[in-house]
Amino acid sequence: MTLPYRSSTTTEISNELDSRYETPGGAQNKVDISYNELLNLLNLAVTGLSDGSEAAIARNSTPYGITYAWLKDRLDAADNRDISANQQVLNAETKITNNTHRNLRVQQASLPNMFKMLTDYLDNIMSAINVVGFGSSVGNGATLPDPSTQAPSAYFKLRVDSVFNKLGNLNIQHYNHSVDGSIVADLTTAYATAVAASHKPKVALLSYGMNDGTSAQYHANQTYSYMIYLLKDAIKKMRKDGVDPIICTTPHPHSTRTPWTMPGGVSVIYPAAGVMVPNETLAQSVKTIDALGDGNLIPVSYRHYRVNEAMRKVAAEMLVPIIDVEKYWFEAVAAHGEDALFDTGQYVHPNLLGHQLSYHAAIDDFITGLGVAYLQSSQTDQLGKKIQDGEFLNVDAGSSKVITTLADSQAGTLTLEAEQSGVSDRCMKVYNVLGNRTAIVLSQVGTTVGSDIITLSTSGMDLIVTPTYSNTHIRYLYSMIIPEVIA
């Protein structure tokens, strides 16, 4: 692996820190999020606070002044007791167990494009579902015996096949556009390269972090703070193209083999010009901590720990699914020691055992969580309504049916389809909707396709559909707009 040293990040940009988000832009990048909005964010984030400790909840919710007890009570009140796949309960008497990251029930809402491809699939339509990997040499599976099946994105594709494609009837393809030496700053270029090669992803697995946590990238060239900005920016671009990104946190490098010194001629600009925190000594660069909260002390890289914290923060803020590889890596280090997870002479490329106990184990649990969601939930279950996507609505002509209720400031896109046996063509309408205090702002996107046989209206915060004819088959899909920090 080569370490990319860049000088494109200016001191001015890297020092314009927002105290709450540590991203460029200073105070202009601050946003006020209400308690209800944060609760919704935490519920929809795939793993949420995946390490399951009170300390983690406090750490992630500090900007909002929320306590563990408050969050627990709200989750209980919202009847979210089935938050884990094995029905572990969050209640007043017990804490979340330390291995919550293994008990995932992944929300379909976090992977809307992937699930739409799976559920809309017809036997005579073979549209490809492209799983594309982006990352560094770790994403390429450096040192692995068979990267084509063992690299993170390749293994992810195999596990998707094993759960969702048992008949082999789905056209799921895999392409790996990871580039040795890459950092998050290279993601936008790598994505453009994939699209140009006709490998536009439906699912993008992001395996960065190993190089981003090096001394040179953390303190100088890219910088820790600018990495967060770049990751958010790349995710926004992908989502606009209909791509479902998934963030993987990174394993840590070997603590005693890794050179923590700054390269010659590279000037520190983060956290401030000429100030290097932590410094380049082993004592400050590596900390021995109880990383899993189980009493086992293991060595961790200060900078990589912080990079992974930032990735989890981005995932929570943008409702991006996250495969928290770091937690599994800590378990592997505690059980086997670092030397067993790297081949001789390697310090940033985990060997096959290292991948199996980190990326592969994390992906296994993630895909299992997807399967639970696929079988047990609907794309609209978070809306709290009984009507399922595609339900036959036995509504008399001119009568109305409430299909969902919005919360204040909740925004999204509603797609309606309707068919009636006496009408030759299908009706399709698309609307932008926004909950505004006590009413809904509603606007149709484009014109009605086909015969106009349904009407969408509002009453207070309810969205109401009214068919022209009785026994009209109505399908709908509501997609939430992801909240963004507005500068």
The per-residue pLDDT for 363 is 96
Q: CA-CA distance, 324 to 54, in Å (whole number)? A: 18
Same domain, 342 and 397: no
Bigger pLDDT: 19 vs 376: 376
297: CATH? 3.40.50.1110
For the residues 42-52, what does the mean pLDDT come to? 40
Residue closest to 93 by CA, chosen among 113, 75, 69: 69
pLDDT at 479 over 80: no
Whole-number pLDDT of residue 126: 63
Q: Which residue has the higher pLDDT, 417 or 155?
A: 155
Instruction: Check if the beta carbon of residue 208 is closer than 8 Å to that of residue 184.
Output: yes
The confidence band for 91, taking pLDDT boundaries of 50, 70 and 90, is: very low
Q: Per-residue confidence at 406, pLDDT binned at 50, 70, 90?
A: confident
pLDDT-derived band at 396, boundaries 50, 70, 90: low
Residues 216 and 328 in one domain: yes
Distance separating alpha carbons of residues 54 and 66, to the nearest angstrom: 12
- Does the structure show a pLDDT above 70 at 338? yes
- The CA distance from 148 to 153, in Å, is 9
- In the three-class reduction of DSSP (H, G, I as helix; E, B as strand; rest coil), residue 196 is classed as helix
Is residue 226 domain-shared with residue 258, that is, in the same domain?
yes
Residue 29, pLDDT > 80, answer no
Q: Which residues pair with 51 in a beta bridge?
A: none
Nearest to 103 by CA among 117, 124, 89: 89
Higher pLDDT, 179 or 43: 179
The reply to whether 316 and 392 lie within a common domain is no
Exposed / middle / buried, residue 339 (Cβ in 10 Å: 0-12, 13-18, 19+):
exposed
* Whether the predicted pLDDT of 83 surpasses 60: no
1: in domain? no
Contacts of 360 (CB under 8 A, 6+ apart): 150, 155
Q: Which amino acid is at 284?
A: Q
Residue scoring higher pLDDT (185 or 476): 185
- The reported pTM is 0.62
Give backbone dihedrals phi and psi of 119, rounded to 5 degrees, phi first.
-85, -25
350 with 404, same domain: the answer is no
| Bridging pattern class, strands 286-289 and 244-248 | unpaired
Q: Looking at 184-188, 379-383, 422-426, which range is the least confident one?
A: 379-383
pLDDT at 23 over 90: no
* Token digits of residue 171: 């056209």
Strand pairing class (129-135; 172-176): parallel
Task: Point out which residues pair with 298 in neighbouring strands.
Answer: 289
Task: Tell me what the mean pLDDT of segment 127-156 comes to.
Answer: 96
Same domain, 76 and 125: yes
> 3-class DSSP state for residue 417?
strand
Whole-angstrom distance, CA of residue 252 vs CA of residue 247: 16
User: Taking 70 as the threshold, does the pLDDT of residue 19 lie above it?
Assistant: no
Q: Given a cut of 60, is residue 84 above it in pLDDT?
A: no
What pLDDT was estimated at residue 298?
97
Task: Say whether both 317 and 402 belong to one domain.
Answer: no
In terms of domains, do 199 and 303 share one? Answer: yes
In a domain, 67, yes or no: yes
What is the number of structural domains in the chain? 2
pLDDT, position 325: 97
Residue 56, pLDDT > 50, answer no
Cα–Cα distance for residue pair 32/400, rounded to 1 Å: 37
pLDDT band at 47 (very low <50, low <70, confident <90, very high): very low
Residues with Cβ within 8 Å of 482's Cβ and at least 6 positions away in sequence, in order, are 239, 318, 319
pLDDT confidence bin for 195, thresholds 50/70/90? very high
Same domain, 323 and 416: no
Domain that holds residue 476: 385-480
Query: Are 426 and 364 found together in one domain?
Result: no
pLDDT for 218-232, tens place per residue? Answer: 999 999 999 999 999
